[in-house]
Amino acid sequence: MIKNWQYLDEYHQERRQILEIVDRVISSGRLILGPEVSAFEEAFAAYCGVAHGVGVNSGTDALFLALKALGIGPGDEVITVANTAVPTVAAIRAAGALPVFVDVEEDTFLMDVSQLEAAITGKTTCIIPVHLYGQPVDMEPLMHIARKRGLYVVEDCAQAAGAEYQQKKVGGFGDIGAFSFYPTKVLGGYGDGGMSITDSEALYEKLRGLRFYGMKQASYAEEEGYNSRLDEIQAALLLHRLERLDDSVRKRQEIAQHYTQGLSNVGDIAVPLVRSGRTHQFYTYTIRTKHRDALMRYLMEHEIEGRINYPTPIHLMRGYDFLSVENGKLPRTEKLAQEILSLPLYPRLAQKDGEQVIHCVKRFFEKGAGS
């Protein structure tokens, strides 16, 4: 089976180094918020081109604590998109705010920034652009609107570590950038984890307090806080993997380019569009086709795993019925949910496996299965 994602291969390749890191950390006796976390926070913030990083329990908490640090809560509206992972909206709701959705660009799947102005109300306090699948949102006009209207910006970078917009890493455009280090991510650990990054000293101190019960010193809460700490083992493993992140991104881009060359004129497939001035790091390689479901079944029959990220837009999920966003309100988002399919892509994907994926997709259309 050619899987959509494969971490065991990487683990077996680096097993000795990984186990040495784990043994070193456990033997140190410091397992929570110690030197490994500090070192990774400093290194990752520098990699992203910002001053500060605050390691937390997950990407969801990175978003949630970012909103809390900005003072966003009940009565506030936060503009984002519905074609994202549930955690984007779950974090907004955990903060007590209300998500407001704008539609996306059909060719990039990213927030349609031209719709922002119409979505802003007197209750709007923040915009969360989602750098979906590894490509940045159009941040220059978005930041112009945010600054003009006095709105905060929290970048959802969960899928985009290493991606660039106008030669600047994502996460450093808004007030806070939020990252996930879930195992499937381009920079992923062997457990959960996340980070909020910022250039603001005040927000940095606020985030550090919020992640640890609101404490600045042991056993004394300066404010109401939470328990959201990146552990030492994950931080050490992530620091190890950070050294290879750019190489990993290059390999993903090479595989994506190979796919694009092989599939550009096949059937009704639309291959991923990369906008000028942006660096796509291909967390997923997501195509579009009106024959998505049939193609996905065909691939599975031939031992190739395709995935749908994400099959149901959040505004159409039962858990978010209370938002009262009707079917048809976000036509591009809803259309894309019926057409998107992610093909297998990870840095150690063998060239022969990539060729097999291309061959199988071509054969599907050549046999008339997509007619």
Q: pLDDT for 187-228, tens place per residue?
A: 999 999 999 999 999 999 999 999 999 998 888 999 999 999
Give every residue of the chain whose pLDDT is below 50, as ranges: none
Residue among 43, 46, 22 at smallest CA distance from 191: 22
Mean pLDDT of the chain: 96
Q: Are 165 and 171 in contact (CB under 8 A)?
A: no
Kindly list the distances between the CA atom of residue 108 and the CA atoms of 116, 132, 167, 305, 308, in Å, as whole numbers in the listed order: 17, 9, 19, 23, 16
What stretches of 38-89 adopt beta strand conformation (E)? Answer: 52-56, 77-80
pLDDT of residue 358: 98
pLDDT of residue 6: 73
pLDDT of residue 133: 98
0.95 exceeded by pTM: yes
Residue among 45, 40, 44, 94 at smallest CA distance from 66: 94
pLDDT of residue 367: 84
Q: What is the DSSP string of 261-282?
A: HHHTTSTT-BPPP--TTEE---
pLDDT of residue 371: 56
Q: SS3 for 126?
A: strand
Q: Are 84 and 111 in contact (CB under 8 A)?
A: no
Give me the torsion for CA of 277, 279, 283, 284, rounded to 10°: 50
Neighbours of 341 (CB within 10 A): 22
pLDDT of residue 369: 66
| CA atoms of 69 and 348, how far apart (whole Å) | 39
Alpha helices in 139-186 (DSSP H): 139-149
Cα four-point dihedral sign 314, 319, 322, 326:
positive
pLDDT of residue 370: 56
Domains for the chain: give ranges and CATH numbers: 8-102+110-242 (3.40.640.10), 245-366 (3.90.1150.10)
pLDDT of residue 13: 87
